[in-house]
Amino acid sequence: MNKEQRWSKSSWQTLVAAQQPNWPDQASYASVLADLERLPPLVFAGEARKLKSDIARAQRGEAFLLQGGDCAEEFARCTAPAIRETLKVILQMSVILTYAGEKPVIKVGRIAGQYAKPRSSDTEVIDGLELPSYRGDIINSPEFTEAARLPDADRLRQGYFYSAATLNILRGFTKGGFASLERVHSWNNEFVSNSKEGKGYERLAGEIDKALKFIGTIGMDMGKERDLNQVDFYTSHEALLLAYEEAMTRCDSTTGEWYDCSAHMLWIGDRTRQLDGAHVEFLRGVRNPIGMKLGPNHDIDEIKRIIDRLNPDNEPGRMTMITRFGADLIDEHLPKVLRQLKGEGYNLLWSCDPMHGNTYKAGNYKTRSFEAILKEIGHFFHIHRAEGTIPGGIHFELTGEAVTECVGGGSDNLEAHQLEENYLTSCDPRLNGRQSLDIAFMIAHLLKHP
Ligand code: PEP
Ligand code: CO
């Protein structure tokens, strides 16, 4: 199907959809989808439009995007402490980046719906037994048994309700005082004084202290200023499971346009962005801001055609390119991509995912090294500056919890033999809370001293 043909929220169904499960019980699958269509939207079209206008500002260099959260959320970890800790670390990072970059930071979680995962193989073999791969909690369960790995349509319903519960507490935390600037800054001060590495960040933290004191000195009441006590926090996930996304897609009554109301922002993965595939078809018709992952394995002419199809009017704020080349390949690929695309005059936000090109195995554990992550980020900034394009965002897999999934890191400096201590992810390794703050202070340095 091409762009001249009519889009509907189900037009993707006539095309090849990569990475979809085979639902064994078609009757219950159809009934769950019908229920989801009737349930209230999780987010509003107006919120997605606000995010789009924020991203348009970032495209002009007037804001910076911070997107982060789990690789794969899990139903069993949908608890207030887990959600609070991830939100807390994103808010802490955003204060550091706002101050250093002198720009507002747009906060987007990989949260409240990041439940479906693309896999490199449909099946997994252990000791001669072949079972369907784990595809995320919204589809099946990670235990290696036949029953657990069978796609279960009721999980789609549960995914909706877990997303709703997560969003509800996020809205409470971000609008109810938890996110106040003073409080977030005091957490940062705690990190700085409690960590060996944190001492190096004292100067920046001290400058923020002074700025906050100044606000008080000129007579503003920090407790009363709405903007100092509430933040806009947006949700996002990979738009992978198209039937779920279709069921959550609604026509906005004020504009007559279609929005995928499962999250504010959706992204298209590196494995599902085929020009004539179902994912591009579905996303071209919804008006949310869209991210597109871009790894080493791509054809630049196809990428241009996908951008044309997803954003034919070159609408500002619509497209975020999330590059994930890896620390060793970014120098080879990013300059070429930027040169090819900047001549086209596209409105794009460039964001760096320093996680997905840097995964390797250490013994039995999938891991990533803090040094490689930092190296990719550093090169991302330098290459954009050399090419005259804007390094406008960053995309992390992180958690606020004290997991041991990535090695290295200034404050933690985890070694490979420590990975087993608290390795919790069911998919990719995440930066823990302290590693995330270390990275934020290091990016602060890149923003302040280009
Ligand atoms: C992800 O973001 O978890 C992911 C699977 O990324 P990519 O599509 O870039 O491999
Ligand atoms: Co991942």
Cα 400 → chain centroid: 15
pLDDT confidence of residue 330? 98
Query: How large a percentage of the chain has pLDDT more than 90?
Result: 87
Q: What share of the chain is helix, strand, coil (3-state, %, to 5)?
A: 45, 15, 40
pLDDT per residue as tens digits for the range 76-120: 999 999 999 999 999 999 999 999 999 999 999 999 999 999 999
Whether 5 has a pLDDT exceeding 90, the answer reads no
pLDDT per residue as tens digits for the range 387-428: 999 999 999 999 999 999 999 987 778 999 999 999 999 999
Ligand 1, residues 133, 238, 267: which to mutate, most atoms within 8 A of Cβ? 238
Average pLDDT value over all residues in the chain:
95
- How far is 149 from 355, CA to CA, in rounded Å? 27
- How far is 97 from 100, CA to CA, in rounded Å? 5
pLDDT confidence of residue 427? 93
Nearest residue to 208 via CA among 121, 291, 312, 99: 99
Whether 276 has a pLDDT exceeding 60, the answer reads yes
pLDDT confidence of residue 450? 66
pLDDT per residue as tens digits for the range 45-76: 999 999 999 999 999 999 999 999 999 999 99
Nearest residue to 42 via CA among 170, 232, 179: 170
Residue nearest atom 3 in ligand 1 by C-alpha distance: 71
Whether 448 has a pLDDT exceeding 90, the answer reads no
Whether 441 has a pLDDT exceeding 90, the answer reads yes
Q: What's 181-234 look like in SS3?
A: HHHHHHHHHHHHHHCCHHHHHHHHHHHHHHHHHHHHHCCCCCCCCHHHHCCCEE
Least confident of 89-98, 206-215, 354-363: 206-215
Decide whether any atom of ligand 1 lies within 6 Å of the 291 Cβ.
no
Whether 198 has a pLDDT exceeding 80, the answer reads no
- How far is 226 from 408, CA to CA, in rounded Å? 39
pLDDT confidence of residue 4? 60
- How far is 126 from 424, CA to CA, in rounded Å? 20
- Angle among Cα 252, 137, 166 to the nearest 5 degrees reads 50
Whether 2 has a pLDDT exceeding 80, the answer reads no
By the 8 A CB rule, do 106 and 54 touch?
A: yes
Least confident of 33-42, 128-137, 200-209: 200-209
Whether 134 has a pLDDT exceeding 80, the answer reads yes
Higher confidence at residue 176 or residue 335?
335
Residue written as tokens 């279709």?
246
Spell out which residues have Cβ within 5 A of ligand 2, the ion: 71, 428
Residue written as tokens 């196809």?
302
pLDDT per residue as tens digits for the range 282-321: 999 999 999 999 999 999 999 999 999 999 999 999 999 9
* Ligand 1 atom nearest 72 alpha carbon: 3
Query: From ligand 2's centre to the CA of 159, what distance in Å?
Result: 18
- How far is 167 from 432, CA to CA, in rounded Å? 22
